[in-house]
Structure 1
């Protein structure tokens, strides 16, 4: 079974969603199904069909969350000594050597990636180019428009 890296924050968020779906959402949906059954003929009962569809979606998401959590390799970056090297879970400050633009990214698991929030997947081209490098090193990232060089300004374990 292949394990997938995940941050502690992401694991906690998935566990909270799973708990909510199993307790709050299941009860709410079961109540909606019961109310819709009381309305009569189930074949032409739109409320019943909508509630059953909600139930199906919720149960599918519960299974998906349980699968992700069972295959997760949770990495707590705070327990790892900060050596200045880029590893999974660190926050990296970069300077584009061509444009002097600064960027800050946190390297996270694939399911956690959100570029708008500054989180990039460990399997992204930028992260792959950065992993193993240290502060002061230059990483070359291959993009569709050509190579881009980034200098690693700072590595933070937060």
Structure 2
């Protein structure tokens, strides 16, 4: 069965940041790692060549990150919620449903909002960057 790819919600800034990282990995890092692999091959026996192993491991990491970023960008939905009002209900993880604005108390946003009062502001690190929330109202 084909795996359903998860939508990635990004701010315009987050999208730009990921696109820049992808471009850097493809144009700069790939060449650097390929150069390290080529240079380490000159040291002789690849079986006992730690520089070669390190370079191959780094190459695998870079290629994996490129694939991850390409998938995220392929499934990106860009939102600009600057100044938007959003109502969240903080619930347990079993009941969480972001489509219904029910967020888990274990999520980064849920954890940041728990215990806050009207007027409080919180900044939350999310994959797209930092999001700032100001609590306008708290209902129990």
Q: Which range, TM-score by smaller chain? A: 0.5 to 0.7
Q: CA RMSD in A?
A: 3.2
SS of residue paired to 1:105: strand
CA contact (8 A) 2:10 2:77 kept: yes
Q: Report the count of equivalent residues.
A: 110
**3-state SS of paired residue (1:40):** coil
- TM-score of the superposition, structure 1-length normalised? 0.57
How has the CA–CA distance of structure 1 residues 28 and 57 changed in structure 2, closer, same or farther, with 3 Å as cutoff?
Answer: same
What residue in structure 2 maps to residue 86 of structure 1?
86
The Cα of 1:104 is off from its aligned counterpart by 1.7
Question: 1:2 Cα shift?
Answer: 4.4
Cα distance in 2 between the residues matched to 1:66 and 1:21: 11
Higher strand share: 1
Match of residue 121 from structure 2: 104
Q: What is the distance in 2 between the residues matched to 1:50 and 1:15?
A: 26
Q: Give the TM-score, by structure 2 length.
A: 0.64
Identify the residue that residue 47 of structure 2 maps to in structure 1: 43
Gaps of 5+ in 2: 88-115
1:30-69 pair list within 5 angstroms: 30-69=34-73
Deviation sequence 1:55-77 (CA, Å, 0-9, x none): 00000000001111111101133
Task: Write the mapping of 1:8-157 to structure 2, written as runs, cut at 5 A.
Answer: 8-77=12-81, 85-86=85-86, 96=117, 103-105=120-122, 110-112=126-128, 119=131, 135=136, 137-140=137-140
CA contact (8 A) 2:33 2:59 kept: yes
* Structure 1 spans left out of the alignment, 5+ residues: 88-94, 121-126, 141-158
1:106/1:35 CA distance change after superposition, 3 Å: same
Report the CA distance between 1:107 and its aligned residue. 7.2
